[in-house]
Amino acid sequence: MQHLYSIIQKKRFIYFLFFGLSLFVVVKGVATHQTFNNFTIFRYNFIHTIHQQNLYNYYPEVYNDLNHYGPAFSIIIAPFAVLPPSIGVIMWVLFNVAVLFTAIRLLPIRDGGKTIILLICAHELMTTSTNVQSNGMMAGLIILSFNFINRKKDFWAALFIVLGTFIKLYGVVGLAFFFFSDNKLKLITGLIFWSIVMFLLPMAISSPSFIIQTYRDWYHDLVAKNNENQGSFLQEISVSGFIRKVLRYESLKNIQVIAPALLLFGLSYLRIKSYKILSYQLLILSSVLIFAVIFSSSAESSTYIIAFAGVAIWFMNLNRPVTKFEIFLLVFAIILTSFSPSDLFPRSVRMDYVVPYKLKSLPCFLIWLRIIYESLTRNFTVEEQDLLNDKIGADTALVSL
C-alpha cells in the first residue's frame, strides 16, 4: 500500500510539473508586464476576421511580425480573445497544455509510460509556453487523431486531422495513420464532412466572400513565408537548415532533403502485416511527430514540443531493456534539443553554435533515423505475442488469487 501511495504521489508531482512549468512562465510574464506579441497576433486573427480586415497584412501599430494562421483559427482563439489580455493569455497557455496532456493520457500504453512521457515533455512544453505558441495544441491534435483511430472512432479522428490542418497545416500529417483504420470509408467521410465544416465555420463571424478570399490570401502567405524561412536565423531549425549551415551549402533546396526523407518514411509502410500491431503503430506515430518538425522550413525552437512528444513516445515504446545507445540518444535530445534554449544551457554555446547551426534539430534527426531502422527490422509479431502471453499470465494469476 505504501508503494502504491508513493507511485500516486510521484504521478501527482509530474502532473503538477507538466502544468506548473508552463503556468509559471506565463504568470511571470504577466506579472512583469511582458508583451506577448504572439498572443496579440492570435487575438487579432479573431478581431480582423470579425471586421473583415486582411489577416495577413502587417499591422505595426498593433503587433510585430505577421499572422500565418488560417481563418478557422479565429473560432478556436475566440474564447481567449474576448477575455482581458492578461487573463486570456494564461487561459490560452493552459488550454494548450491541457490538450497535449489529454492526448498523452489517452495513448494506448501503460499508465506509468504515459507519466514518463509527460515528464520528458514538460521542459520542452515550457519553451513553447514561454512564447505562448499553439504547438502544444498541435502536438495534441496529431496524437488525438492517432488515439481515435486506435479506438475505432474514425469520424472523430477526422475532426482532429482537419482541425489541425485548417489551423496550421501540421495536422495534415495525421493522414499517415490512415492505414491503421478499420473503417477507412468512415474516416474519408469524416475528413470530407469536417473539411466542409471548418471551411464554412469562420463565415459565422464574418462573411462568405471575405473568408473565401482569406483562404486565397493564406495560400500566398504560406508560400511567401516558406521562401523567407530559408536561411533565417531563428527559423528553419530543421535538417535542411542544419545541412545548409554546417556544410555552408546555401543553395540547398528543401526538396533535396525532403524527397529522400519521404522515401525513407515510405519504407516504414512496407511492413504491411504489422499494421495492426500496436508497437508498430506507436513507432509510426513517433516518426510522424518528429518528421513534421525536422523537415519543415517553418520549424522554430517552440515548434519542437511536437517532435519531442515523438521522442518521448519512441523511448517508451522501445523493447526493454533499452540499450546504452538508446539512452544516449534520449539524453542527447534532452540536453541539446530541450535544454539548449533555456538558462540551463551556457548562453555562449547556444548563441555561437546551437542557434546558428540549427543544432536543436540534430538529436531528433538521429532518433528519427533510428525509428526508420526499427520500423524495418523489429520483430513486431514476436513482441505482440509476448505482450499477449504476459496478459494471459497476469489474468491467470488474478483468477488463482
- Return d(Cα 150, Cα 134) in angstroms, integer: 25
Q: Report pLDDT for 392.
A: 40
Residue 358 corresponds to which cell in the numbers above?
540549427
- Return d(Cα 22, Cα 109) in angstroms, integer: 25
Q: Report pLDDT for 270.
A: 93
**Global pTM value:** 0.92
Question: Three-state DSSP class for 323?
Answer: coil
Domain layout of the chain by residue ranges: 225-379
Kindly give, in sequence order, each residue whose CB lies less than 8 Å from that of residue 235, ignoring residues fewer than 6 positions away.
228, 229, 241, 297, 298, 299, 300
CA distances from 207 to 53, 69, 203, 218 (A): 11, 18, 5, 16
- Return d(Cα 220, Cα 277) in angstroms, integer: 41
Q: Report pLDDT for 5.
A: 45
Residue 141: name the closest of 170, 112, 179, 183 by CA: 170
Q: Report pLDDT for 235.
A: 74
Q: Report pLDDT for 251.
A: 81
- Return d(Cα 224, Cα 211) in angstroms, integer: 20
Instruction: Tell me if 201 sits within 8 A of 162, measured CB to CB.
Output: no
> Mean pLDDT for each 10-residue chunk of the chain (401 residues)?
51 92 96 93 96 95 92 97 96 98 96 94 96 96 98 97 94 95 96 97 96 96 82 77 88 89 95 94 98 92 96 95 95 96 87 92 97 93 57 38 38
